[in-house]
Amino acid sequence: MITSTACPPSAATARIGVFDSGLGGLSVLRAIRSLLPTAELMYVADSGHAPYGERGDAHVIARSRAIAAFLRERGADLLVIACNTATAAAVSALRQDHPVWPIVGVEPGIKPAAGLTRNGRIGVMATTGTLRSERFRLLAQAHAAHVDLRLQPCPGLAAAIEGGEVDSPEVKARVAEHCTPLREQQVDTVVLGCTHYPFVAHHIQAELGPMVRLIDTSDAVARRTRHLCESLPARAALPLATAADAAKLWTTGEQGRLESFARRWLDFAWQADAAVIPD
């Protein structure tokens, strides 16, 4: 668990925009709040267009551009793409669109997994879109050439988690389905390659056994976000109740579902609303 330390003014008062295909990126938002407790946070759950992992790249790029513009218009100093699929498909396009805007992506933690495995067999649980991407291929080539990488696409799992009932029979059944091949292949380290999956890590751990290490990159994304925020121009300090308490959340899907998920998983105050974000 990351712990916060004193932040320079630029990081302490930064306005950070975060988005995901749905609710999964709240795991990243939670990690960012832990490390940057006084930053102003804005989050978009594109639940009305989820799941990205089962869509084509053109769809993901179009949605990513639209949401980036939405957050940019609201003053985001920095953008965090809290979605592996959107990072794989759209981060290059967004960086070309906004060459001076700091943008943080999230990628499966293959590099730390390769350093931690004991038997050389690593599982990667991710969406089909993430695993088929050129960005993932290059990531695996760079960091996993010396290990046995077992790729496990998990169709339907992010959508089931998006339903909000992470302990439902449907979610447990899908976790069991996708974990069984990895358990049979005797992997000792498993990368959670979708920001939705940390919310069901307890089920994944139960299926794989206590000796299997799970790798979640939320804390690493938060650290990278803080590092980039430190070089931003400092904003005027906001009142504590504004800066530290009220993260702004929007969803293109059902507002009640976002609120239910946020109540369960976020340990800081937030305000939720619905949003229409056309391509």
Residue 24 labelled as part of a binding site = no
**Active-site residue identified among 7, 154, 179, 194:** 194
Pairing of strands 189-193, 121-126: parallel
The annotation status of 120 as a binding-site residue, yes or no, is no
Amino acid, single-letter form, for residue 55: R
Among 7, 83, 154, 179, the active-site one is 83
Q: Is 142 exposed, middle or buried (0-12, 13-18, 19+ CB in 10 A)?
A: exposed
Q: Decide if 194 is catalytic.
A: yes
- Do residues 125 and 190 touch, judged by C-beta distance below 8 A? yes
> Is residue 179 among the annotated active site residues?
no
Residue 52 marked as a ligand binder: yes
Annotated binding-site positions for substrate: 20-21, 52-53, 84-85, 195-196
Residues designated catalytic: 83, 194
